[in-house]
Chains A and B, each alone.
Chain A
Amino acid sequence: MSTQHAFCAALLAHEPSCPEGVFSSNGADPASRFAVYRNNVHSALINALATSYPVTRQLVGDEFFHAMAGLYVQAYPPESPLLSEYGSTLADFIQAFEPAQSVPYLADVARLERLRVRAYHAADIPALDQPRVLEQLNGQSRLHLHPCVATLHSPYATVTIWAAHQTEGAIASVNPWQAQGALVLRHGLAVKVFGIDSGSVAFINSLGRSEALETAVEHALEASSEFDLHQCLGLLISHDAITHLEQKVSP
């Protein structure tokens, strides 16, 4: 086993240990020195997750979050030096994490926070100007969405729960047991989160699959008879979420 392999294994082991072949010049137990590396690795990665998932952390408290994130770090250490991408599977981990079951909406809040990080760093692509979109739009149009745009469909009031944690002070009573969709996008430099209905989620997801406008409307109405095309399209256009319009007839 190579030196670095042993070092790496000991850094990520569940129980503190120390690789062979290392020593301290003063004769101190090398395990007491190796613990610094182990602690650095764990605490930096846990802090990275805490930064990306602030509301998830608030919902369960620091102690619970740190313990949960520590287990996640050991099971799923980063596979890229780009730490802004680290933790993209944390929500799935939370979903299956038995001790978190008492907060059933925790995984969806984590999903929403991941979408916010992705939107924040998404590519800068200019939007189509609003009059041009409205002028050219017809049922056959395929709308290209900005890469920052994402949706989430949740059986819980995920957006309302998340929004309640954005202001200081007492959290107003929130009924979490109400299904709610989310639209996440970046407008200018600011990431925005909107609570949307299931029809809008289906509509935006359909546009995201490059389906024609009329097909997207069909999907939206299947999901919710109350889908309001004008309002949903207005939300996208006014937040510069449409980057291109294609008028090709579907093959």
Chain B
Amino acid sequence: MMTHLPHHRVSPAQVPGLPLRAGLGLKSEHFIEVLETRPDLGFFEVHAENFMVAGGPFHHYLGLIREQYPLSLHGVGLSIGGEGPLNGAHLARLATLIERYQPQAFSEHLAWSSHGPVFLNDLLPLAYDATTLNRVCAHIDQVQSTLKRPMLLENPSTYLLFQRSTLDETDFISEIIRRTGCGLLLDVNNVYVSCINHQRDPLAYINALPLHAVGEIHLAGFAEDSDSLGDRLLIDDHGAPIDNAVWQLYEQVLARTGPVATLIERDNQVPAFSVLQAEAQQAERHLLQVMA
């Protein structure tokens, strides 16, 4: 059994918030096991787009699980960083889903995934300059006013940099949070992946973020590749256990933020539920250490 952690040190972004515990991404292959075993977890997180269907088993099971657990709704298709306007129909679907399931948190990515009529189904990188900053802020304003709630914005994992960027990623994110009042979903794996890929110090990156705004943390595993120079190229594939370096960075983050709702993400090569639960328990041990 996991120890229930008390609510503690609630930051502004957590107001309607998730419990300060570990949660798991909810996969359809685990619906029945979750309902039958009722694992002791802080919350579940689902990808919003998977539940934008009319009816059937997905809604049936999520409805039952929502009755027993706090929920985080995580969007992967809004394309907040897109050059074009936000997809109004998609935003309306999100509003409907939020109305139906009343999640404790809604988050999306600092990335783009649609261009014109095409949806690329990946979280693609942005050039960081004044133009994109204004656009992203306008999109987040539109999301927050439509959904009538603050959202959390997730820092990206990236493999390339843009020549036209004039701002550091951390400055870009800080300015978005300052202007829009959104919270930060700090993906510690993304920080590690991007920093290795771009030869940055992960802790310096963390220190440059507005940590007071962190409303949720993501932890995941990555895959290893190499680029044309044979240098390490880390790929954020959510298909492996969380790396030790990421656990260490997580500990350093918690030392700065205090306890924060923490999600274990696994979207590929999904193992048995008990394997994911063990990672959630490991995260809760870290959370307990900073509760005192």
Contact = CB atoms under 8 A, between A and B. Distances in A.
Interface of A: 2-5, 7-8, 11-12, 21-34, 36-37, 40-41, 44-45, 48, 77-84, 119-125, 147-148, 186, 189
B119 A31 contact: no
B205 interface: no
A25 B119 contact: no
A157 to B, nearest CB: 28
Nearest to B229: A28
B56 A186 contact: yes
Given A27-B229, A79-B117, 8 more contacts: A4-B124, A8-B116, A25-B200, A37-B159, A81-B121, A82-B49, A121-B53, A189-B57
B161 A189 contact: no
Contacts, number: 142
A84 B82 CA distance: 22
Given A29-B227, A124-B56, A124-B59, A44 B122 contact: yes
Contact of B58 (A12, A41, A121): A121
B78 to A, nearest CB: 8
Interface string B118-130: 1111101101000
Contacts of A36: 159, 225, 233, 235
A28 B231 contact: yes
Interface in B58-101: 58-60, 76-79, 82-83, 87, 90
B231 A81 contact: no
**Chain B residues touching A, range:** 35 or more
Given A22-B162, A31-B228, A81-B90, A48 B118 contact: no
Give the dominant DSSP class at B's interface.
Answer: loop
Q: Which 6 A-B pairs have the closest CB atoms?
A: A81-B77, A124-B55, A121-B53, A29-B228, A123-B54, A32-B228
Contacts of B52: 81-82
Contacts of A78: 118-121
B163 A28 contact: no
Of B49, B76, B118, B197, most buried by chain A (CB within 10 Å of CB) is B118
Nearest to A76: B118
A87 to B, nearest CB: 12
A81 B114 contact: yes
Contacts of B116: 5, 8
Contacts of B122: 11, 37, 40-41, 44
A247 to B, nearest CB: 27
A147 B213 CA distance: 45
B52 to A, nearest CB: 5
A77 B118 contact: yes
B198 interface: yes
